[in-house]
Amino acid sequence: MPATSKAQQRAAGAALAAKRGEIKKSELIGASKEMYESMTEKELEEFAETKLEGLPDKKSED
């Protein structure tokens, strides 16, 4: 499942880095912290690899 916004893609990237031990879990805040706790590394990879081109900055509230 690809990310639907740039913010979501970036949060997934931060959570993925923490899962891999590249940054400390304590450095995560907000959505990235929630993603870290609720998603697998594979799920985070799918979100993080989404290309930013054409994505909105934030997901619209429908």
Domain boundaries, the chain: 6-48
| Nearest-angstrom CA–CA distance, 16 and 11 | 9
Query: Do 4 and 53 meet the contact criterion of CB atoms below 8 Å apart?
Result: no
CA dihedral 41, 47, 48, 50 (to 10 degrees): 150
Q: Is the pLDDT of residue 59 over 90?
A: no
pLDDT band of residue 4 (cuts 50, 70, 90) is: confident
pTM for the whole structure = 0.84
Short-list 13, 2, 8, 5, CA closest to 56: 5
- pLDDT tens-digit map of 10-57: 999 999 999 999 999 999 999 999 999 999 999 999 988 988 888 788
What is residue 54's predicted lDDT score, i.e. its pLDDT? 80
